[in-house]
Chains A and B, each alone.
With several copies, the nearest count.
Chain A
Amino acid sequence: MVELVPSLLRQELNRLAAEGQRIDGRGHFDVRDVHLEVDCLYNAEGSAKVVWGDTIIYAGVKFEIRTPWPDRPAQGSLMCGAELRPVAHRKYEPGPPSPESIELGRVVDRGIRESGCIDMGELCIVPGEKVWGVMIDIHVLSDGGNIFDAAGLAAIAALRTAVVPAERFDVGEDHTLKVNGTPIMASFKRAGGRFVYDPREEEELGGDERIHITLGDEGHLHSLQKGLKGVFTPEEFAEILAVAEQKCSELRKMVAEKEGN
């Protein structure tokens, strides 16, 4: 039965695609409503809530002081993790982190880390002795599809509004974390044979491969990931990369606006 639904759904997605349609009436590169809220959680040093269609994700930033790695005595560290807990959907089960949640956390982590937006040298307090460890935790509360883009948005927005809690650790005055850039992820999913942007839950069930592209402020690629079964051609990739540039710009503007508030 679990098997049946996807195959019927796949037929329907194919039918819709043939007519240039999509299950919720969107065009194939249209995005759903996205709401972003920042600085919304007591105890987190930076936080963001993203409501993206039926998907709801929180991200929170915490700091700790640690001793640096011997081979990088003047560099702090950044870590981004994600939990896909049973709260988020009927399909998620309790237990150790699933491959899905590990992939989610690592893809978001690479996008932020590789954009270079955090200068690890700036996280040094006393070389060889004390550096900041920055930890971004992504908490998915409701999975209505495309959790990758929503998680990436929540993570960078939380990071960009984070305050380094130096006073609590007795190492100076609190100050905002310096973040040089706003890497944004855009995800595409094959549904009904072609790629669509921002898949909703049903499109993820019935579809095939998924491509995640994280772009920096200059439009450079910082992270790529292909997930799920399926293949794509270089031509298909060129098309969605162009779409990604435009989509990422729009979301980057949304982050900037929230910071202004």
Chain B
Amino acid sequence: MGGYGDVKLLREDGKRLDGRAIDEMRPVTIEAGVLPAADGSAMVTHGLNVAVAAVYGPMEAHPRKIQRQDRAVIDVRYNMAPFSTGDRIRPGFNRRSREISKVTAESLESVVLVERYPRSKIRVEIEILAAEAGTRCAGITAASVALADAGIPMRDMIVGVASGKIEDTVVLDLDKAEDNYGQADLPVGILPNTGEIAFLQMDGDLSVEEYNLAMEYNHKAAKEIHEVMVDALKRRYEGGEA
């Protein structure tokens, strides 16, 4: 979290700069099956964020040494396009994207029935085309829908969602300015059917009470986003336009 300026993030009417209420999410749209070359795919817009996920596989895992005898490995690449941010990003992985790729892969392994595909590999490619705070969550949501679109069996979806703290107030779903000048960010991946957590990161400053409130907001928002996810898949499979 930046938190180094005196930037006002809450208006006098208690709303946020973009007019949202404290527990209000940015608009989310999802489309499944957007990439013809992939086995499964999805595009998520979350506010001004644009995240695309492609799934390939299950396929033979090679080289051999990455194979697991009893399950599939999930190979995730989270990548920000060079033009996705204010200043251009040099192509290629950096430390941030490697870390997000790792924990996203581990989250998805928690829900995919990997034991169905021993010795195989499932490739999940997450591409951020436009970033406005919250890309890792949009990426997890997109990856979940893309896996479902590819017909990969899962015990549940994962919904990516975040809450945070600005001006000592817990709010749902930080936007760019709130992320830059806020006090805490708590992105999580929630299993909508059980409420369990498969993805968790947090930085900044939160008391235990603030943490609990932020998680409450997150669980509420996860339900909303889950409906959009289900809807996208329905449109895809019920002969909707892909």
B residues in contact with A253, CB < 8 Å: none
Establish whether residues A216 and B130, one from each chain, have CB atoms under 8 Å apart when the complex forms: no
A residues in contact with B111, CB < 8 Å: 231
The interface size of chain B toward A, counting residues with CB under 8 Å, comes to: 68
B154 to chain A, nearest CB (A): 12
B102 contact from A99, A110, A141, A219, Cβ within 8 A: A99
Establish whether residues A75 and B125, one from each chain, have CB atoms under 8 Å apart when the complex forms: no
A209 within 8 A of B: yes
B196 to chain A, nearest CB (A): 4
B residues in contact with A54, CB < 8 Å: 36-37
B113 within 8 A of A: no
B residues in contact with A75, CB < 8 Å: 4
> Interface on chain A toward B: helix, strand, loop, or mixed SS?
mixed
Establish whether residues A227 and B103, one from each chain, have CB atoms under 8 Å apart when the complex forms: yes
A residues in contact with B70, CB < 8 Å: 3, 7
Establish whether residues B207 and A142, one from each chain, have CB atoms under 8 Å apart when the complex forms: no
B202 within 8 A of A: yes
B1-31: which residues lie under 8 A (CB-CB) from chain A? 1, 4
Establish whether residues B197 and A234, one from each chain, have CB atoms under 8 Å apart when the complex forms: yes
Establish whether residues A106 and B4, one from each chain, have CB atoms under 8 Å apart when the complex forms: no
Cβ proximity bits B88-117 to A, threshold 8 Å, 1 near / 0 not: 100110011011011100110111000000
A55 to chain B, nearest CB (A): 8
B213 to chain A, nearest CB (A): 13
Q: Which of A20-28, A36-44, A123-131 contacts its partner?
A: A36-44
Establish whether residues A234 and B195, one from each chain, have CB atoms under 8 Å apart when the complex forms: yes
A205 to chain B, nearest CB (A): 13
A17 within 8 A of B: no
B221 to chain A, nearest CB (A): 15
A204 within 8 A of B: no
B residues in contact with A41, CB < 8 Å: 50, 83-84, 129-130
Cα A220 to Cα B202 with chains together (Å): 12
B residues in contact with A137, CB < 8 Å: 81-83, 88, 91
> Interface on chain B toward A: helix, strand, loop, or mixed SS?
mixed
Cα A221 to Cα B84 with chains together (Å): 30
Residues A225 and B201 in contact in the complex (CB < 8 Å), given A41-B83, A102-B98: yes
B125 contact from A85, A113, A209, A225, Cβ within 8 A: A85
Residues A106 and B95 in contact in the complex (CB < 8 Å), given A42-B48, A99-B101: yes
A48-78: which residues lie under 8 A (CB-CB) from chain B? 54, 56, 58, 60-62, 64, 72, 75
B123 to chain A, nearest CB (A): 6
Residues A43 and B127 in contact in the complex (CB < 8 Å), given A64-B88, A223-B202, A237-B197: no
B201 contact from A83, A209, A226, Cβ within 8 A: A226
Establish whether residues B83 and A43, one from each chain, have CB atoms under 8 Å apart when the complex forms: yes
B37 contact from A89, A99, A114, A229, Cβ within 8 A: A89
Cα A43 to Cα B48 with chains together (Å): 9
Cβ proximity bits B190-203 to A, threshold 8 Å, 1 near / 0 not: 01001111111111
Q: Which of B51-59, B222-230, B231-239 contacts its partner?
A: B51-59
A120 within 8 A of B: yes
B residues in contact with A163, CB < 8 Å: none
A24 to chain B, nearest CB (A): 13
B residues in contact with A201, CB < 8 Å: 37
